[in-house]
Structure 1
Amino acid sequence: MKRDLIYTNNIFLKVIFFFLSIIYLILNRIKFYLFKHNILKKVKIDNTFVVSVGNITAGGTGKTPFVIWLTQRLKKKGLKVGVVFRAYKSKEKEGIVSDGDSMLMDISESGDEPWLIAKKTSVPVAIGKYRAKIAKRLSEQYSLDVVIMDDAFQYWRLIRDLDIVCVDGKEMFYNKKILPLGIMREPIENLDRAHIAVIKRQDQIAGEDEDLKKYFDEDAIFDMSYELSLSERVKESKRILALAGIAKPEGFFNMLRKRLPESKVFGMPFNDHCIYDLDDIKRINMFCKKNMIDSIVCTEKDYFKLVELMDDVECAQLKVNIRGGEDIEERIVNASDNSR
């Protein structure tokens, strides 16, 4: 379902979404009950600290940049870190994407986010439908100190030691209704399962988070902001085409416009996890000719897919800043020492 439909004013669709959201909620609660009461068995990884990074809303919360930031910081602290994803839009259903030294899958086999994180962090990365199984395998095979589980707040089969929830500071929880009537994957009160909240800030002022303060102490809420690193060519261009196949492409386009106020930035959105083809490239080239584009820039996630099809695309690299982020690092470092 397209995300825009969530915001529809169509009464007929809203009625349908209301009943679908009830079904979604009931199924969610049944699954949680089964795991909570050990009817469905949980898996524990011995001698490894397990961190879940997820969200309670649908998409676009800054989870991937945060996982990259956290992985890089823990690695610098001397910890052996691995990252596990579910096999989403990948040709392979299970396997090792990278052993930390070499890429063992291409981007079409692994999916874009696992491949990007493996490339950016140089740590073991795996994908699998049965994430508890592949996480255990990854930990044992590479003697990991920490396993980071991507998008795992609703994944209860694996016992975790720390739950981190990422939140979009602009959208927050919208109308607090369950998918597809709203953007919530589960009721907001379930935030009490999480230990840390990371808020993706853009133009929002810190402190617009009263809902979070009901479930987290102030020292467990962290603000995350971004800076874009651009090439000189892009910075000197007057007419720029921005490409983004991410959950909320407008956020990327607005960052560029704010970073380059003297330039005209055109935004061309694509579906999240888009696999570009020759028709897309033809559409991009036609737009560039028609609008006299000086340079083309895209997100890091898109760059590795586009660079094989285009010679002149530039990558806007993202630098992540987390206010007080060293507290997250130290909490994991200290706890992982105790878990070994």
Structure 2
Amino acid sequence: MPFKIIDNRRESRLRRAVESDGGAHGALTRGALSAAAALYGAGLRSRMRKRRAMPAQDAGAPVISVGNVTAGGTGKTPVCLYLARQLHDAGFRTGVATRGYGRQQSEPVIATPESNPGWKVTGDEPQLYLASGRVRAVAVDPLRNRGAAALASEHGCGAILLDDGFQFVTLKRAADIVCLDARNPFGFNRLLPRGELREPVSALERATHFWITRATPETATQTQTLLDTLKKRHPGIPIILSRHEPECLVPIGGSSDILEPAFLAGKTVCAFSAIGAPESFEQTVETLSGARSLAIRHTDHHAFTDQELRRADALAAEHGCGAVVTTEKDAVRIPGAFKPELPWFALRISLRVTQGAEHIDELIESLQ
């Protein structure tokens, strides 16, 4: 059966309509989105002026911000997990301050490994931080100044990672790391909603470090172009390169045996996800299996229903798949009671720094 993508993402349907329709309807849609982007840009400039006019607050512990200038999908979470491990190994009691995207309540909460209310309260990414064994506490609070201060004062955190913090300029930080996806670093060079930029590219002037993610052999040309651009526009700013590498397969709803990624070799596999940039994940699954007949995509942080999960399981079987593979972040939102017919796995990935590791070491040493 031929390869098929079932894309349930709202933003994907809109982008396909905008980019593929060369007629009057497409032109009108692009014009409307460009006008909306102009309004977004005007509002953004006003908000950022007000924020920069406010004095940056001190959390009571050094803060490392990890963010981006585009809307999601740049690999911030693996970068935060990597930094949490490095800080932990250097002896820091580490906390994470985050907004908690995709959660089902708005009240602020501080979660710890000993007191974890679950993803519906915290969002999915905090669950990965808590499961890592390197994070002492996660403050989930839209007022991240308040969350970061609580991590330092109430939980004794000596270093704080500010997740998705580049636009949150009212918190003092020791470093402002900006993640850039090697494949599309500048979000089609257009502001939301016409493109994917949350801020103009000129905002990169605030960065203290650039972290290029998904810098693989397949993206070597794009990576080099991005490197050249960054070095020309921002000379002297440290640049770090990394790529994601498959680590193991964690079963979902079945056997407790953790398997090597090689288990997928030769199998027809369905890639199931609800993340910002599913293409990289799907490519990894295809590389591991050598055959991919189906990809099912949902909007980032989507709360799966039992019906959606059972439908995905059935679709995968209809397409001749021998397994379904999802991401660790998505697995957090799959209920433990889900019992699929096919084998389901969460693909655990690790982040490998291929260039610029010394900049991370220098940053952590500066916090001592």
TM-score by length of 2: 0.84
1:221 alignment counterpart: 239
Pairing 1:14–2:14 present:
no
Pairing 1:296–2:324 present:
yes
Change (3 A) 1:140 1:215: farther
Pairing 1:279–2:292 present:
no
Moved more, 23-32 or 174-183: 174-183
1:113 alignment counterpart: 125
Paired with 2:44 and 2:287, the residues of 1 have a C-alpha distance of: 40
Paired with 1:97 and 1:293, the residues of 2 have a C-alpha distance of: 40
1:187 pairs, out of 182, 200, 203, with 200
Gaps of 5+ in 1: none
1:330 pairs, out of 349, 354, 361, with 361
Is residue 176–residue 182 contact of structure 1 (8 Å, CA) maintained in 2? yes
2:14 alignment counterpart: 5
Paired with 1:221 and 1:155, the residues of 2 have a C-alpha distance of: 22
Is residue 281–residue 310 contact of structure 1 (8 Å, CA) maintained in 2? no
Paired with 2:351 and 2:115, the residues of 1 have a C-alpha distance of: 24
State the one-letter code of the partner of 2:209: I
Change (3 A) 1:188 1:264: closer
User: Aligned pairs, how many?
Assistant: 332
Q: State the Cα deviation string for residues 111-142 of structure 1 (Å, max 9, x = none).
A: 11111222124411110021111110111112
2:219 alignment counterpart: 204
2:63 pairs, out of 50, 66, 82, with 50
For 1:207, what is the secondary structure of its paired residue? Answer: helix
Paired with 1:55 and 1:326, the residues of 2 have a C-alpha distance of: 19
State the one-letter code of the partner of 2:267: K
1:249 pairs, out of 269, 278, 295, with 278
1:235 alignment counterpart: 264
Pairing 1:135–2:153 present:
no
2:46 pairs, out of 8, 25, 30, with 30
Paired with 2:138 and 2:149, the residues of 1 have a C-alpha distance of: 12
Paired with 1:225 and 1:45, the residues of 2 have a C-alpha distance of: 31
State the one-letter code of the partner of 1:21: A
For 1:208, what is the secondary structure of its paired residue? Answer: helix
Q: Report how far residue 254 of structure 1 moved.
A: 0.8
Q: State the Cα deviation string for residues 247-266 of structure 1 (Å, max 9, x = none).
A: 111221111112332x3452
Is residue 50–residue 160 contact of structure 1 (8 Å, CA) maintained in 2? yes
1:319 alignment counterpart: 350
State the one-letter code of the partner of 1:207: Q
Is residue 65–residue 165 contact of structure 2 (8 Å, CA) maintained in 1? yes
What root-mean-square deviation, in Å, do the aligned CA atoms of Structure 1 and Structure 2 show?
2.1
Paired with 1:317 and 1:324, the residues of 2 have a C-alpha distance of: 22
Paired with 1:289 and 1:182, the residues of 2 have a C-alpha distance of: 36
Change (3 A) 1:97 1:4: farther
Paired with 1:290 and 1:217, the residues of 2 have a C-alpha distance of: 53
Q: State the Cα deviation string for residues 64-89 of structure 1 (Å, max 9, x = none).
A: 11111111111111111110111322
Pairing 1:162–2:175 present:
yes
Gaps of 5+ in 2: 1-9, 20-25, 249-258
Paired with 2:236 and 2:363, the residues of 1 have a C-alpha distance of: 18
Change (3 A) 1:29 1:120: same
State the one-letter code of the partner of 1:333: I
Paired with 1:120 and 1:265, the residues of 2 have a C-alpha distance of: 32
Is residue 325–residue 347 contact of structure 2 (8 Å, CA) maintained in 1? yes
Q: State the Cα deviation string for residues 235-274 of structure 1 (Å, max 9, x = none).
A: 255221221111111221111112332x345211122111
Change (3 A) 1:164 1:4: farther
Change (3 A) 1:103 1:15: same
Q: Report how far residue 191 of structure 1 moved.
A: 0.3
- Percent identical among aligned pairs is 24
2:339 pairs, out of 296, 299, 310, with 310
Is residue 58–residue 183 contact of structure 1 (8 Å, CA) maintained in 2? yes
Instruction: Give the alignment of 1:61-80 within 5 angstroms.
Output: 61-80=74-93
Paired with 2:310 and 2:230, the residues of 1 have a C-alpha distance of: 45
Change (3 A) 1:325 1:115: farther
Q: Report how far residue 98 of structure 1 moved.
A: 2.9
Is residue 242–residue 353 contact of structure 2 (8 Å, CA) maintained in 1? yes
TM-score by length of 1: 0.90
For 1:246, what is the secondary structure of its paired residue? Answer: coil
For 1:266, what is the secondary structure of its paired residue? Answer: strand
